[in-house]
């Protein structure tokens, strides 16, 4: 394989919003490697070049967000002009996405190899500093291999920098051998990298290493290796993060605030453990922008929003959420932006409408710069959050033994409690008497009960009766539930002046504070709890590029993708699904892996193509 290496970086110290980001270091020039690793700054510059790969347009800076179909049964690339490619499961080994993904990851590996080979060139640099840099570089190399093995399966292991383009014949290593390299590099890193409070969320830190090690071990325990002994290791690595008093990880009290923080460039290292860093707006020469929030949020051409809706949710994802779970309407837009930047809400829950709701987890309206640029956002992308740690811990515990049920439920409910409306908010309104002869919808007011804030409106049927009373919509938590009600408030139905109609009676229903509890049916046996955990990961982590790989390791990918296809074909009129049904219709067993790029096969005679490609 031929890898193009940039060996020298020059630092640009950019200060903004009181925050200096590590990736203010930008590649600029070429210099002989042996002359470069003389100072601590030299090592940091070289390390920045490895980090820079994470934000590449091919990875978290762009394509991975929508073109790789990583959302699985949660969502799909809704870009109508796209007619072939991985996002449609209609591609070949010569597809540029297949080639560029491979090349970019090996470029990152080669940069890491180059630094690791030269890190001890100047022994006068503190050994602790060299070991810390070595730890970060080793971890990043391992993470690139982790992405490779998930995507392509068996791949060549290259642990030395490219010295010549003439020696390109390298055999694939087994999946087990690749994971052995990953574990070795990451375990070394865990000993030498800094605590997150010192390193920050954009740098490899102890919590990030431990958390990703938990993820790696869960993958090793699942398909295709099925080394179930790794569940114990996954549990232990996750528990190290949970019990780390120095780092003090905890859940942000608000689910939506996690992602608003990314838009505002605010670091919350208690919740967000490892992020790919971006900054700027391409208005000047000092930026490292990405596409997060631009390609994967509700569409708007307005300068204060500027986004494209290239990712849509499935009805299958929407229907996993219960009433009061605020994650649903944050992750899946219940609105569209209108011509002035306001929100026009949708109340339709038909399958046809649910399959075209855009993803909305990352929103540009919260960015600090009032004028947004196309294909250039400063929003960091989360690779690992604390809620994922809790869910991985719960999963590992359940797989080790169903006797751990109570502990598993405890950690699931920690994640869920944050997401659900609290006791004392209005859950719904029951119409006790529909009334009669309403010429227009009556006005609804909710008063008393010791609380405030709930708002609702009436809907009439064709017989001029009240068919329902709905809470007003909200773009963050879903509805205007209000709060603080200690008793059931009074619902007053008032006919507007000059209109007719009377007799309507309605009663409010409050959340009782137990809605977040894991339902009893989910705890009847290990398999039921396993399914609930898998669905909880979907509810919590949707659109964070984790779902497809999760489904594959659980051996659920083909089944769940078929379920989405069945839902579309059975519930959505053909005229409505033409633009997206093929995303699920085309899936078959060969898509568990991508093909080895055809260009690599032509350069490396020892490579063999993956099955069925």
In angstroms, what is the C-alpha Rg of the chain?
26
Out of 3-12, 141-150, 200-209, least confident range? 3-12
- Angle, to 10 degrees, between the axis of helix 206-221 and the axis of helix 175-192? 160
Domain limits at 360? 296-379
Q: Are residues 355 and 447 in the same domain?
A: no
Q: How many domains does the chain have?
A: 3
Could you tell me if residue 350 is left (phi over 0), alpha (psi between -120 and 50 degrees) or otherwise beta?
beta
Q: Tell me what pLDDT residue 52 has.
A: 97
Mean pLDDT of 492-514: 98
pLDDT for position 83? 87
User: Whole-model pTM?
Assistant: 0.93
Residues 317 and 439 in one domain: no
Is residue 564 a part of any domain in this protein? no
Q: What is the mean pLDDT of the chain?
A: 93
pLDDT of residue 82: 86
Average pLDDT over residues 118-147: 98
Report yes or no on 492 lying in a domain: yes
| Residues in Cβ contact with 62 at an 8 Å cutoff, skipping those fewer than 6 apart | 56, 290, 291, 295, 375
H-run or E-run covering 27 = strand 25-29
Same domain, 476 and 341: no
pLDDT band at 286; cut points 50, 70, 90: low
Whether 100 and 188 map to the same domain: the answer is yes
Residue of 364, 236, 252 lying closest to 297 (CA atoms): 364
Tell whether the torsion through CA atoms of 83, 89, 90 and 94 is positive or negative.
positive
Q: Are 93 and 609 a contacting pair, CB within 8 Å?
A: yes
241 assigned to some structural domain: no
Domain containing residue 86: CATH number: 1.25.40.890
End position of a domain, from candidates 510, 530, 565:
510
Strands (E), 380-537: 381-385, 426-436, 443-447, 456-460, 466-471, 473-474, 478-479, 490-494, 502-510
Q: How does residue 254 score in pLDDT terms, banded at 50, 70 and 90?
A: very high
* 158 plus 49 within the same structural domain: yes
Average of pLDDT values for 41-61? 97
Identify the three-state secondary structure at position 164.
coil
User: Does 570 fall in a domain?
Assistant: no
Q: Which residues pair with 312 in a beta bridge?
A: 76, 358
Residue 207 lies in a domain: no
Q: Is the pLDDT of residue 281 over 90?
A: no
Side-chain-side CA neighbours of 505 within 13 Å: the count stands at 3
Q: Does residue 226 lie within any of the structural domains?
A: no
Residue range 326-344, pLDDT digits in tens: 999 999 999 999 999 999 9
Q: How confident is the model at residue 319 (pLDDT cuts 50, 70, 90)?
A: very high
Chosen domain end from 379, 409, 439: 379
pLDDT at 582: 92
Q: Which of 259, 197, 36, 51 is nearest to 137 (CA)?
A: 51
Find the Cα–Cα–Cα–Cα dihedral 85, 79, 276, 235, rounded to 10°.
-70
pLDDT tens for residues 456-486? 999 999 999 999 999 999 999 999 999 999 9
Q: What angle do CA 224, 227, 228 make, to 5 degrees?
A: 120
User: Would 437 be classed as within a structural domain?
Assistant: yes
Q: Are residues 488 and 605 in the same domain?
A: no
Cis geometry, peptide bond prior to residue 224 (ω within 30 degrees of 0): yes
Answer whether 493's CB lies under 8 Å from 507's CB: no
Residue of 529, 593, 586, 595 lying closest to 561 (CA atoms)? 586
Please tell me whether residues 21 and 165 are part of one structural domain: yes
**Is 222 among the domain residues?**
no
Domain boundary among 510, 542, 569: 510
Inter-residue contact 515 to 421 (CB < 8 Å):
yes
Regarding whether 456 and 368 lie in a shared domain, the answer is no
State whether 84 and 176 are in the same domain: yes
Phi-psi region of 450 (alpha: psi -120 to 50; beta: other; left: phi over 0): left
Asked if residue 34 has pLDDT above 70, the reply is no
Lowest mean pLDDT among 82-86, 138-142, 191-195, 290-294: 82-86
CA dihedral for 433, 434, 440, 445, sign (positive or negative): positive
Q: In terms of domains, do 156 and 98 share one?
A: yes
Give the span between the Cα atoms of 139 and 144, in whole angstroms.
9
How confident is the model at residue 282, as a pLDDT?
Answer: 75
Could you tell me the pLDDT band of residue 284, with boundaries at 50, 70 and 90?
Answer: low
Same domain? 86 vs 157: yes
In a shared domain, residues 301 and 170: no
**Percent of all residues in the chain with a pLDDT value above 70, rounded to a whole number:** 94
């Amino acid at each position: 394989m031929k890898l193009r290496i940039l060996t020298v970086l020059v630092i640009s110290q950019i200060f903004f919003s009181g925050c200096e980001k590590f990736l203010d270091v930008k590649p600029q020039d070429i210099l002989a490697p042996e002359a470069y690793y003389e100072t601590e700054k030299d090592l940091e510059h070289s390390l920045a070049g490895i980090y820079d790969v994470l934000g590449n347009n091919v990875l978290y800076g762009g394509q991975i967000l929508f073109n790789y179909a990583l959302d699985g049964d949660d969502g799909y690339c809704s870009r109508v002009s796209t007619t072939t490619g991985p996002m449609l499961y209609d591609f070949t080994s010569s597809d540029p996405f297949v080639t560029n993904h491979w090349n970019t990851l090996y470029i990152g590996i080669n940069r890491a190899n180059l630094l690791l080979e030269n890190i001890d060139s100047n022994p006068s640099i503190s050994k602790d500093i060299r070991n810390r840099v070595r730890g970060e570089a080793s971890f990043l190399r391992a993470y690139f291999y982790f992405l490779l093995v998930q995507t392509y399966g068996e791949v060549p292991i290259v642990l030395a920098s490219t010295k010549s383009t003439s020696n390109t014949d390298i055999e694939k290593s087994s999946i087990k051998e690749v994971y052995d390299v990953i574990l070795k590099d990451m375990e070394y890193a865990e000993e030498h990298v800094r605590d997150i409070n010192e390193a920050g969320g954009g740098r490899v830190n102890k919590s990030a290493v431990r958390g990703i090690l938990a993820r790696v071990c869960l993958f090793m325990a699942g398909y295709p290796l099925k080394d179930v002994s790794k569940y114990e290791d996954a549990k232990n690595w996750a528990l190290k993060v949970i019990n780390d008093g120095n780092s003090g990880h905890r859940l942000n009290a608000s689910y939506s605030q996690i992602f608003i923080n990314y838009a505002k460039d605010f670091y919350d290292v208690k919740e967000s453990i490892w992020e790919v860093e971006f900054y700027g707006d391409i208005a000047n020469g000092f930026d490292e922008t990405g596409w997060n929030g631009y390609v994967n949020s509700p569409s708007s051409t307005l300068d204060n929003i500027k986004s494209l809706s290239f990712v849509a949710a499935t009805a299958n994802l929407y229907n996993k959420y219960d009433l009061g779970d605020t994650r649903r309407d944050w992750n899946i837009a219940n609105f569209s932006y209108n011509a002035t930047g306001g929100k026009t809400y949708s109340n339709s829950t038909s399958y046809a409408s649910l399959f075209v709701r855009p993803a909305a987890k990352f929103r540009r309206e919260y960015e600090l710069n009032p004028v947004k640029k196309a294909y250039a956002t400063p929003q960091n992308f989360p690779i690992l959050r604390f809620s994922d740690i809790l869910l991985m811990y719960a999963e590992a515990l359940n797989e080790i033994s169903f006797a751990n049920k109570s502990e598993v439920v405890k950690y699931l409910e920690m994640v869920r409690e944050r997401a659900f409306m609290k006791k004392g908010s209005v859950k719904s309104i029951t119409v006790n008497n529909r009334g009669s002869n309403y010429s227009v919808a009556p006005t609804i007011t909710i008063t008393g009960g010791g609380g405030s804030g709930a708002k609702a409106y009436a809907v009439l049927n064709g017989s001029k009766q009240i068919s329902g009373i709905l809470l007003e919509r909200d773009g963050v938590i879903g509805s205007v539930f209000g709060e603080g009600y200690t008793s059931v408030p009074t619902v007053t139905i008032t006919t507007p002046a000059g209109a007719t109609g009377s007799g309507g009676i309605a009663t409010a229903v409050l959340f009782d504070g137990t809605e977040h509890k894991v339902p009893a049916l989910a705890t009847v046996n290990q398999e039921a709890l396993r399914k609930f955990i898998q669905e909880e990961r979907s509810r919590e982590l949707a659109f964070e590029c984790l779902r497809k790989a999760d489904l594959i390791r659980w051996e659920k990918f083909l089944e769940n993708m078929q379920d989405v296809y069945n839902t579309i074909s059975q519930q959505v009129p053909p005229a409505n699904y033409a633009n997206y049904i093929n995303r699920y219709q085309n899936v078959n067993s060969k898509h568990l892996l991508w093909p080895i790029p055809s260009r690599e096969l032509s350069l490396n005679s020892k490579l063999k193509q993956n099955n069925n490609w």
